[in-house]
Amino acid sequence: MYIWKYWRESRITFAIAALVLALAAWGLVSVPRAPEGFKLAAAADAVVIGLLSFPLAFLAWRFGSFGVGSDLGDKCGAYLFTRPRSRAFFVWHDWSYGMAQLFAIVVAMVLAVEMAFERAAPGPRELGVAGQEVAPFTLGCLHCVTVILFVGLIFGLTYVCGIIARNKGMMMAAGLLLAYLVLKVVVAHYWPSVVLPDFMMSEFSVDSGRLMGFADHLALSIALRAAAMLAFPFAAQLLLQKRDID
């Protein structure tokens, strides 16, 4: 029943995202074939996925505004919390269903990009100056993980802000994201030795603008970002348990 409520709130956003994705995939089908023997660089995949991360970030920000946070302070919220369910139930159903929708969109997007590139230039992607290559399947899986961790952070942050600030949660989340970007620039200017992490994980090591190989400690970076992503629903659960429902 509660999942149906979340779906009713998010279905228009999901439908629009699916339609835009379908139109983009249709456009990718018309990508011309490269000359025989041409090998595509892995950097091309990374650039396209990086560009597509911007609309996905907006989508995650929007999805984070749905759920129990938007019900606090009105009759709907008071009614929900009279049900024989714990508050953790509402948080984890929101988070799981929102992430499931984002996961489906991300996987479909990455699959469409990889299929278009595979159609244009079949075979492994070139990586680095030493003739290293990486299989399209491996590259696609890595892109999926990277983007899901990225949108999961934005989704979780917005969801937590919704519990703190109710209907102003989206603006609060946007302010925090912008403040972090400003802080990153300031720190890089005054303390160059201190490197704050980017919102999106670095998949490759870069030298003089060229991808030289997979980033160092890639597995550790994935694990830490996954832990950070999961920290948001736990934080939302704790905050909600301490909230008085009007």
Chain centroid to Cα 240, Å, comes to 24
Tokens of 221: 């970076």
Determine the average pLDDT of the residues in 190-212: 81
C-alpha triplet 47, 49, 54: angle, nearest 5°: 105
Taking only the tens place, the pLDDT of each residue in 19-36 is: 988 888 777 767 667 666
Tell if the pTM clears 0.85, that is, is over it: yes
Taking only the tens place, the pLDDT of each residue in 46-87 is: 788 888 888 999 999 999 888 776 666 555 555 566 565 677
Taking only the tens place, the pLDDT of each residue in 136-176 is: 888 889 999 999 999 999 999 999 998 888 778 889 999 99
Percentage of the chain modeled with pLDDT above 70: 81
> Which one has a higher pLDDT value, 149 or 44?
149
Taking only the tens place, the pLDDT of each residue in 219-243 is: 999 999 999 999 999 998 888 887 6
C-alpha triplet 243, 13, 232: angle, nearest 5°: 35
Residue extents of the structural domains in the chain: 2-242
